[in-house]
Structure 1
Amino acid sequence: MRILQVAPNHETVPPHRDGGTERVIYELSKGLADKGHEVILFAPSESHIPGTVIPYPFWGDDSIGSYVMENLPPNIDIIHDHTFDSAISRVGVNAPLVHTIHLPVFNSVHFPIYVSKSARETIGGGYGFDVHNGIVPEEFEFSYEKEDYLLFMGRVVREKGILEAMNLAEMTGQRLIIAGPLHDEELFYSEISPRLKRNSLLQFVGPVGGRIRQDLLKNAKCLLFPIQWAEPFGLVLVEAMACGTPVLALAKGAVPEILGPFPEMMCDSVKEMAEKLYYYQAPYRPDQLRYHVEEQFSVSQMVEGYLALYQLAISEYGG
């Protein structure tokens, strides 16, 4: 097939550092190419995939729909829209079209694909389809040995539970490394920065990628995921487990789907998380976590899921 992928216009594909959606788009594009499909990607400049990249000559998502239509390559079999507002749905494209809804937002589109069953039910009202995000486990270094620090990795915003993660570290007197981009500077400078200055056990390292990101995930004794919203997926949970690193997460959104076989890593409250952290012992072996990722969240499974939905959309479009 000749497959067109349309990425948001905020971060390169793959991302230099943080960017879960962009990592998924890259791995999907590579997986499709590995199966012999031709992949064309609209994405920010400096993006690259095993295929053709058409760079956006502007910043932001507002003009994506019109730009894609004005520069639409010929003979496209399917268009896969990953933009956060499903921009291609509003420009009247004459081709089979599917949309992955990466954020917890409702976009009124004909063929929505959510990244978890939970998101399809809570955001889409049960309408549409779902395909879990996938990773290449072999690209994540595995380790039985862990160092004595907790890890928070994600966007620095309230809904990701950054304040709760800091509370947990302070309540239990443990070291916490915070890694992620500042998406709420007011929150950082008014509430987070003063606490960093008061407590040397709290360390902010900013957005990370490459070796630094790999080492943080591989060596943490526990990843904290005290989310304050219905997380549509939670890719960092999968990445941590691929490294053999246990997690503690609030059981919201897609968390029970991802951590289903490991109930001891899910909590109903921050208080329960703190109780588990006081005398923390990893509840599962690192190799159990790695095996779960290999069996349930591989790129190959994600690619097969999307290919099946591409065929369905093409068949439906053809009548």
Structure 2
Amino acid sequence: MRIVQIAPDVFPIPPNGYGGIEKVVYDLTEELVKRGHEVYVYAPRGSSTSANLISYQHDGIWQFEEMVSRVINTLPENIDIIHDHTHDSLIGKLNLPIPTLCTIHVDHGNGVSNQVFISKRAREFLGSPNERYVYNGLYPSEYDFSYEKEDYVLFFSRLVQFKGLEYALDVVEKTNDRLIIAGPIHDQYLFETDYKPRIQSNPNIEYVGTIAGKQKQEILKKAKCLLFPVVWEEPFGLAMIEAMVCGTPVLAFPNGAVPEILEQFPDFICHSVEEMIEKVRANSFPYPDQLRRYVIERFSVNKMTDDYLAIYHELVDCNK
């Protein structure tokens, strides 16, 4: 098939550090190329891929008009399908004659045809029962695994209110555990006024910024557990499967798709800060290899690609 992938206008692919959507787009694109498909990918300048890269200007802001214009004016001929991953389904809204699939990676629907959600819960919250969902996937071979854990818990996410860092801080202030915080600051005012004073006043808490590469692998695989106290309709939660494939357990609030992604490990669900505190103190988790096997079986790039290809073929056949 001749396939076009449209990455968001946020980070290059693959992302150097934070960028969950970009990581998914990159891995899907690479797997499609490996399987012999002719793939074109639109992504910000600085991207790198085995597919045919068509880059567009990117200077740190979302440039919707320029991006849409770039796609319209450079779209290769005889494309079978377009897969739009942009936050607002910018290409899907054009209603082009080419079948267009729109993955909804965010917490709002875009009112376009052929929406695909990234969990059953996201479909339930944003779509309708007749619409599709495809889980995000990763390459397990890209993630180090460790049975041995060190004496710290991890918070690995964007630093914004709805990701729940304040609750992770509440937990370690009670348990006296060491906490490593990793991720980009997306709300500078909140960080300066609420988070930074609590971090600086506690010698057990360390903020390491955005992590990538070897540093990310080491921190993920050695953590006693990942704290994931999200307080929004989390559409998927890539950090959870990244931690588990490294053999690291996850303690999370049951918001959005969290219970679904942690379906085999219901004891990881915490309904309050107090319950999360108790479970951190108990430190009673499944064997790390159980967590890794679970991710390999349910959340691989191979499975994600199989599922998307089935939808591609269905939409192309319907368009004939």
Category of TM-score, reference length = shorter chain: over 0.9
Pairwise CA distance, 1:89: 2.2
Pairwise CA distance, 1:172: 1.1
Pairwise CA distance, 1:125: 3.6
Pairwise CA distance, 1:90: 2.7
Q: Give the total of aligned pairs.
A: 317
Pairwise CA distance, 1:58: 4.0
Aligned amino acid, residue 119 of structure 1? A
SS at match of 2:41: strand
SS at match of 2:91: helix
SS at match of 2:97: coil
Aligned amino acid, residue 5 of structure 1? Q
Pairwise CA distance, 1:127: 4.6
Pairwise CA distance, 1:249: 0.8
Aligned to 2:300: 298
Distance 1:61 1:211 in 2: 32
SS at match of 1:53: strand
Aligned amino acid, residue 180 of structure 2? I
| TM-score normalized with structure 2 length | 0.97
Pairwise CA distance, 1:70: 1.3
Aligned to 1:51: 51
Of stretches 272-281 and 91-100 in structure 1, the one that deviates more from structure 2 is 272-281
Of stretches 259-268 and 176-185 in structure 1, the one that deviates more from structure 2 is 259-268
Pairwise CA distance, 1:263: 1.2
Aligned to 1:211: 214
Does 1:262 pair with 2:252?
no
1:9-24 alignment runs, 5 A limit: 9-24=9-24
Aligned amino acid, residue 297 of structure 1? F
SS at match of 1:294: helix
| TM-score normalized with structure 1 length | 0.97
> Is the CA contact (8 Å cut-off) linking 2:93 and 2:112 kept in structure 1?
no
Aligned to 1:36: 36
> Is the CA contact (8 Å cut-off) linking 2:181 and 2:206 kept in structure 1?
yes
The equivalent position to 1:124 in structure 2, one of 114, 119, 127, is 127
Of stretches 253-262 and 6-15 in structure 1, the one that deviates more from structure 2 is 253-262
> Is the CA contact (8 Å cut-off) linking 2:153 and 2:224 kept in structure 1?
yes
The equivalent position to 1:190 in structure 2, one of 183, 193, 196, is 193
Pairwise CA distance, 1:317: 2.0
Distance 1:176 1:150 in 2: 5
Aligned to 2:88: 85
Distance 2:209 2:157 in 1: 10
Pairwise CA distance, 1:254: 1.1
> Is the CA contact (8 Å cut-off) linking 1:69 and 1:91 kept in structure 2?
no
Structure 2: give runs of 5+ residues left out of the alignment.
none
Aligned amino acid, residue 111 of structure 1? N
Aligned to 1:6: 6
> Is the CA contact (8 Å cut-off) linking 1:69 and 1:93 kept in structure 2?
no
Pairwise CA distance, 1:198: 0.7
Structure 1: give runs of 5+ residues left out of the alignment.
none
Distance 2:245 2:278 in 1: 25
Aligned to 2:314: 312
Aligned to 1:163: 166
Distance 1:92 1:261 in 2: 40
Does 1:230 pair with 2:233?
yes
1:101-140 alignment runs, 5 A limit: 101-140=104-143
Identity among equivalent positions (%) equals 47
Does 1:272 pair with 2:275?
yes
Pairwise CA distance, 1:170: 0.8
Aligned to 1:67: 70
Pairwise CA distance, 1:156: 0.4
Aligned to 2:154: 151
Q: Deviations over 1:145-193 (max 9, x none)?
A: 0000000001100111111111111111111100001111011001011
SS at match of 1:66: helix
